[in-house]
Structure 1
Amino acid sequence: MDTLSAILSVAVKLPSIVVLVIGLVLATVRRDRLPRSARVLLRAGVVVLLVVALAALAWSLISINLPTSDWIREGGYQRISMLALLFDGLISVGYPLGFGLLIGAVLAGRRSASDPGCQEAWLGSGSSAGSVSESRRVASRQPSA
């Protein structure tokens, strides 16, 4: 039963870890596409979330064997309670911190609305929004027949 629990624990947490590792690799490889501040916040957020995910995996693998170990028989209930409290603190701080850094990366990578290049970046040279405004200008210039 312990082996099945360990396999299930790894299987449940593995997709999150894989996504975070891929995110870290992409943030490193495609660094030319982001401003420096957004890149730093993105890497920091992914690293924090990866540490939390790996700690969650480690805790779930350790906690499977705790009830059968000699450690719990020798007054280890207080130790386990303390470890669980520390892990809960790590989770409670780690996830909001990691997601906050990712949100900061998104906002740091945006141009301000007052930037004249910002509207061009959204509309592009051949976008449909630009052609609609151009067609309105052309339609207003044409005399009605």
Structure 2
Amino acid sequence: MAKSLDDPSAVAAHFVKAFDVADRDRIVACLAKDLVAEITQPDGSTKQVHGRDGYMRSIDAMDIATVRPSIKATQIAPVSSDQVMAMVEIRAKRKGRTLHNFAAFLMSVSKGQITRIWMVEALPAESDSFWKS
């Protein structure tokens, strides 16, 4: 878990690092069981997912353990005492294709876990096509 349960920035950094090293257990540990997440769709809209398990089904569909994308936080900025905005850069190679994208995550954190995520991507259609190939 994050270095400080009271620091949303540390929780966000830990979450992004867990993605970068494709550590599913660490990703799960960062998420509240009753998580609500807005996940970007190919057309730029969002789809609401309820619960940690529902969110993890979306992550599992990307097969990050096999693809091993590079996911780096370019900026993590506190928004309020319980919210943080994280900008991430994603690079991945899969089946002869490459992906270079940026995404922003607004996260609410309580007791060291992420309770709410709003996600936006720079290239949602390209990202969807890459992960589905």
Between Structure 1 and Structure 2, the one with more helix by share is 1
TM-score normalised to structure 1 length: 0.23
Structure index of larger Rg: 1
